[in-house]
Chain A
Amino acid sequence: MKLTCENISKTFGNITALKNASLSVAEGEIRALLGGNGSGKSTIAKIIGGAVSPDTGAVKIRDKVIKTKSPSNTKKHGIVITSQELGLFTNLSVEENLCICQLPVTRGLFVNKKEIKKRAFEILKSLKLEHLLDKEISELAPNQQYMVEFAKALVQQPDILIIDEITSALYREDVEVVREIIHALKAKGCTVIFISHRMSEIYSICDTVTVMKNGEIVGTYKINEKNENELLSLMTGRDIKDSDLESENNSLVYENTKTILNIKDLVLPRFDSKINIEVKKGEIIGIAGLQGHGQSEFLKTVFGLQGGIRLEIDGTEKHITSPIKAVKSGLAFVSGDREKEGVFGERSVSENLTAVNNLVLKKTRVNEMKLLKDYGVVFGSTRQQITTLSGGNQQKVVIGRWTSSMPLVLLADDPTKGIDVQARRDIHKIFRDLADAGSAVMMVSSDDEELVELTKHTHLSRIIVMYEGNIVKTLMGKDITKENIIAYSMPKGGGNK
């Protein structure tokens, strides 16, 4: 076997992340790792990649035990890990980032800039991203950054490549490129471990799938052996049928519904476009569109992150000049970038949950235990540091921080990025409950299917499709389908960009 993990266990404090996990992957195999929040997928990936050392157990390559002491050690064995926690440096250029793991030098001393550029160009070209050469990472859109992160792994010519959820922020076009590359690597004998929450990707990319639950391996199957619901059942340990997802009501009662947020002539400077929309009480609005067509800028502008803006909130004119004013006027903003704009990494679960209520709004206390339990957050104690939770659980805490502040409008910018299917459904339910309680939710997602799923089961909902900073289409009721979203997000006049 090319790669074998034997009886690996790992605990963080009093949380068991992995229990006797064993796994073996063959040469040229593309293996999916599937599991819910905190099932141990990322932990096992990090152990193989040398970022975390296991308590017990061994990692073997071709039946030889290797030291997984440090990333530079495992890189020598051809193991390359590329993860959702991007390893990119925003202050360096794209090509420097690509080659940083192995800088080519001339005369043993000086960086060979030509060689860096050459290597970077080759890789970027294979990803159809030549235009990113010479740019700085900070100038790139999030999905482009994830593609560069993927490219950075490819430059190292991996023999064993671990992809930890980098596709979660990618758009359809990008994922297709990634799929092609992975299959080319497979042809060369490279072993790939692929972690993703998007079922469609797993089915189109992988050969086999290993399901994990609570730090243990449930089983390994050929990909065509199990259908989506069967895999979900294995992951969650409960029976999942399509009927669970049926909606009970999808009627539209827009007349006589109160407008809770009125956005008039909002300007997105990058596109020189104007946006007008009336958000109704109890409504969920999904915001769709191709990458970088102003979806998240729109939400950020409403939240006062791009300078002052005048909004009519709950019937009164408000001048929002900063996030703090936005919060006090009843807006809330959940970012998909947990690390940077979500969690307070050094602080406890409890502090993260109550930050807005206690520090900004000075409201009454939150019933922490009840909220965490309702949201299905897996945690040891409310006093543990938030970064010890898995990504999905962290995001639920962040969302809890905002929902407990009883916002009139919750703005969510791709909030389920890199979160497993179950947690994603939980979050959708939280949003729906919030809408039922009379608030409104506006959510951007890079995954069209997710938007359809979210809005389909809601009484009052629509999807707006954005193109070059304008709302080009509003979909309601039966028109809400993935096909329609794709059709309306494409540039007009035929031809793909």
Chain B
Amino acid sequence: MITHGTDKKQSSVLKSISKMTFLPAVTLFILFVILNIFITRRFLTSGFMIGFFTANAPLVLIAIGVSVVLIGGGIDISLGAITCLVNVVFISLVGNGWSFGSAAIVGLVIALVCGVINGIIVGFFRVPPLLATFATTSVFGGIALWIMPTPGGSAPMGLINWYNSLFLGLPAPIFIIVAALLIWVAIKYSPIRIWLYSMGRDEKKAYMSAVPVKWTQLFMYSFSGLLAGIGALCLTGSIGSGDPLAGLPLALSAIAACVIGGISLSGGKGSILGSVFGALFLGLVITTVLSAKINPFYQDFFSGVIILVGVIGATLLSRKFMNKA
């Protein structure tokens, strides 16, 4: 084969770029940051940044959680319901005089248990994950409504104040997101990463290669459950009260964020970083629509159109890259 040295170098650079599945999401994110610098008043002030991250940290966290499930070839649509459940349990406990710390720990344990239940149903009873988590959505969401039929209660002021403040010069929610990412980094260096990607590509082959498929599935649903729990505490800090329905839409938005971030619904492809930027992009779309002072009745419509245009553009762009490499 005759190829010139520079050609080869160039094509290998293109190839490694085309492997960065998160690139479209990052591009969209940057475009919308630039756009908002012009249309959103005080966009680059710390006050705005705090508001942006407090509102969007739950989505980012749940997107991180569901990414792991999607990469492993599963799907989890129950995370919104888990968020609701933890939110109302936390508020109820605090309302009954529990301390912030113990209520938070109970909330996180409940989230983990919900995830473990999903994991057992999918991993050990071999129920298709969409059905399993569809059913548990109703179960977890139902319990949340049972505990708190209407929005109410209030979060401890300490939580709200800290969550909505600057910590070491940065919006506090950023530290929670970074902490969650650090957990992922630890997992990344364990065998679980290889198991996840192998299962996502082909579960049968993974089983044939002695990958502990059931246990890895148990792990991934537990992990996503736990992240939904952390997301729920953030949501509580953001809305300041209990609401049995507030978290529900997060389930699908998080999956959308992952897909925008380059994760494939058929599994085995993509990165967590992409999902984070996918979620931040979705947050920026809402900011954009709000800043454009669009009539609230049309806001959903316009944010939908913006997402569609963005996603189509990103898909075309990344396909072009793929073909070149």
Residues of A participating in the B interface, judged by any CB pair closer than 8 Å: 51, 70-72, 75, 86-92, 96, 100-103, 105, 109-111, 152, 270-272, 468
Q: Is the CB of A89 within 8 A of B201?
A: yes
B295 contacts the other chain (CB 8 A): no
Docked Cα-Cα span, A213 to B206, in Å, equals 31
Bound CA span A111–B212, Å:
15
Tell me how far the C-beta of A69 lies from the nearest C-beta in chain B, rounded to whole angstroms: 12
Given A71-B210, A87-B205, A100-B198: A111 and B191 within 8 A (CB)? yes
Q: Which residues of A contact B300 (CB under 8 A)?
A: none
Q: Mark B174-213, 1 if CB is under 8 A from A, else 0.
A: 0000000000000001110111011011100111111110
Q: Are A89 and B208 in contact (CB under 8 A)?
A: no
Distance between Cα atoms of A220 and B200 in the complex (Å)? 42
* Selected contact of B201 from candidates A75, A91, A105, A110, CB within 8 Å: A91
List 22 A–B pairs whose Cβ atoms lie within 8 Å, in order of A's numbering.
A71-B207, A75-B210, A87-B205, A87-B208, A87-B209, A89-B198, A89-B205, A91-B197, A91-B198, A91-B200, A92-B198, A100-B198, A100-B209, A101-B210, A103-B194, A105-B190, A109-B190, A110-B190, A111-B191, A111-B193, A270-B1, A468-B1
Binary contact readout B281-295 vs A (1 if CB under 8 angstroms, 0 otherwise): 000000000000000
Residues of A within 8 Å of B119, CB to CB, are none
Q: In the bound complex, do residue B197 and residue A271 qualify as a contact, i.e. CB atoms below 8 Å apart?
A: no
A71→B208 contact, CB < 8 A? yes
A100 to B207, CA, bound (A): 11
Residues B196-240 near A (CB distance < 8 A): 197-198, 200-202, 205-212
Residues from chain A with Cβ under 8 Å of B198 in the complex: 89, 91-92, 100
User: 7 closest Cβ contacts across the A-B interface?
Assistant: A72-B210, A103-B191, A110-B189, A89-B198, A89-B201, A101-B210, A91-B268
A91 to B195, CA, bound (A): 11
Asked if B2 lies at the interface with its beta carbon under 8 angstroms from chain A, I say yes
Contacting residues, chain A, for B209 (C-beta < 8 A): 71, 87, 100-101, 152
Bound complex: CA of A102 vs CA of B209, how far in Å? 9
Is A92's CB under 8 angstroms from B190's CB? no
A111, B194: Cβ atoms under 8 Å? yes
Q: How far is the CB of A104 from chain B (nearest CB, A)?
A: 9
When distances are taken between beta carbons in the complex, the residues of chain B under 8 Å from A270 are 1
- The minimal Cβ–Cβ distance linking B218 to chain A, given in whole angstroms, is 16
* One of B1, B190, B207, B268 near A89 (C-beta < 8 A): B268
> Which residues of B in the span 227-271 have a Cβ within 8 Å of any Cβ on A?
268-269
Nearest-CB distance from A274 to chain B (Å)?
Answer: 14
Interface residues of B, Cβ cutoff 8 Å to A: 1-2, 189-191, 193-195, 197-198, 200-202, 205-212, 268-269
By a CB distance below 8 angstroms, the chain B residues around A75 are 210
Determine the distance from Cα of A364 to Cα of B276 in the docked complex, in whole angstroms. 53
Q: In the docked arrangement, what's the CA distance between A103 and B212, Å?
A: 12
CA distance A96 to B268 in the complex (A): 14
Q: Which residue of B lies closest to A469 (CB)?
A: B1
Shortest distance between the CB of B203 and any CB in chain A (Å):
11
Chain B residues with CB below 8 A from A72, complex form:
210, 212
Q: A51–B1 Cα gap in the complex (Å)?
A: 41
- In angstroms, Cα B202 to Cα A90, docked, is 10
Q: Which of A88, A91, A468 has the most CB of B within 10 A?
A: A91
Q: What number of residue pairs across chains A and B have CB atoms under 8 A from each other?
A: 59
Chain B contacts of A103 at CB under 8 A?
Answer: 191, 194
Contact A271 B1 (CB under 8 A): yes
A88 to B198, CA, bound (A): 9
Contacts of A272 in B (CB 8 A): 2
CB nearest to A109 among chain B residues: B190
Question: What 6 new A-B contacts, CB under 8 Å, besides A100-B198, A105-B190?
Answer: A92-B197, A101-B210, A109-B190, A111-B190, A152-B209, A270-B1
Query: Which residues of chain B have C-beta atoms less than 8 A from A111's C-beta?
Result: 189-191, 193-194
Residue ID in chain A nearest B191 by CB atoms: A103
CB distance from B207 to the nearest CB of A (A): 7
Inside 8 A of B207's CB, which chain A residues have their CB? 70-71
Asked if A89 and B210 make an inter-chain contact with CB atoms under 8 angstroms apart, the answer reads no
> A86 CA to B208 CA in the complex, in Å?
10
Complex Cα distance, B197 from A90, in Å, reads 10
Contact of A91 among B208, B211, B269 (CB under 8 A): B269
CA distance A96 to B192 in the complex (A): 12
Residues of A within 8 A of B191 (CB): 103, 105, 111
Which residues does chain B contribute within 8 Å of A87, judged by CB atoms? 205, 208-209
Task: Give complex CA distance A74, B200 in Å.
Answer: 24
Contacts of A102 in B (CB 8 A): 210
> Cβ of A92 and Cβ of B194 under 8 Å apart?
yes
What's the minimum C-beta distance from B197 to chain A, rounded to whole angstroms?
A: 5
Centre residue among B197, B198, B210 by max chain A CB count within 10 A:
B210
Residues of chain B within 8 A (CB-CB) of A70 are: 207
User: A75–B202 Cα gap in the complex (Å)?
Assistant: 20
Q: In the bound complex, what is the Cα–Cα distance between A216 and B179 (angstroms)?
A: 60
A contact residues around B211 at 8 Å (CB): 100
Bound complex: CA A307 to CA B257 (Å): 32
Q: Knowing A87-B209, A90-B201, A110-B189 touch, does A100 contact B2 (C-beta < 8 A)?
A: no
**Which chain A residues lie closer than 8 Å to B269 at the CB level?**
91
Rounded to whole angstroms, the CA-CA distance of A72 and B195 in the bound complex is 14
* Chain A residue at smallest Cβ distance from B192: A111
- Smallest CB gap from A88: residue in B: B205
- A100 / chain B contacts, CB cutoff of 8 Å: 194-195, 198, 209-211
Residues from chain B with a CB closer than 8 A to the CB of A86 are: 205
Within the complex, the shortest CB–CB distance from B137 to chain A, in Å, comes to: 28
Nearest residue (CB) in B for A83 is B208
Q: Is the CB of B189 within 8 A of A89?
A: no
In the complex, the chain A residue whose C-beta lies closest to that of B211 is A100
Chain A residues with CB under 8 A of B1: 270-271, 468
**Minimum C-beta distance from B204 to chain A (A):** 9
Alpha-carbon gap, A163 to B269, bound state (A): 30
* Residues on A with beta carbons closer than 8 Å to the beta carbon of B210: 71-72, 75, 100-102
Contacts of A109 in B (CB 8 A): 190
**Closest A residue, CB atoms, query B210:** A72
Give, as a whole number of angstroms, the nearest-CB distance from B117 to chain A: 24
In the complex, chain B residues whose CB is within 8 Å of the CB of A105: 190-191
Q: How far is the CA of A51 from the CA of B268 in the complex (A)?
A: 23
- Nearest-Cβ distance from residue A472 to partner chain B, whole angstroms: 15
Interface centre among B191, B197, B268, by most chain A C-beta atoms within 10 angstroms, is B191
Nearest CB to that of B193 among chain A residues?
Answer: A111
B269 and chain A: residue at smallest CB distance: A91
Q: Please report the C-alpha to C-alpha distance between residue A385 and residue B316 in the assembled complex, in whole angstroms.
A: 37
Q: How far is the CA of A109 from the CA of B207 in the complex (A)?
A: 21
Nearest chain B CB to A471's CB is how many angstroms away? Answer: 17
A87 to B208, CA, bound (A): 7
Nearest to A102 among chain B residues (CB) is: B210
Q: Which of A51, A90, A110 is in CB contact (< 8 Å) with B208?
A: A51
Complex Cα–Cα for A75 and B208 (A): 10
Minimum CB–CB distance from B216 to chain A (whole Å) comes to 12
**Neighbouring B residues of A110 by C-beta, 8 Å:** 189-190
Residues of B with C-beta under 8 A to A89: 197-198, 201-202, 205-206, 268
**In the complex, what distance in Å separates the CA atom of A71 from the CA atom of B211?**
9
CB B10 to nearest CB in A, in angstroms, measures 15
For A101, the chain B residues whose CB sits under 8 A away are: 209-210
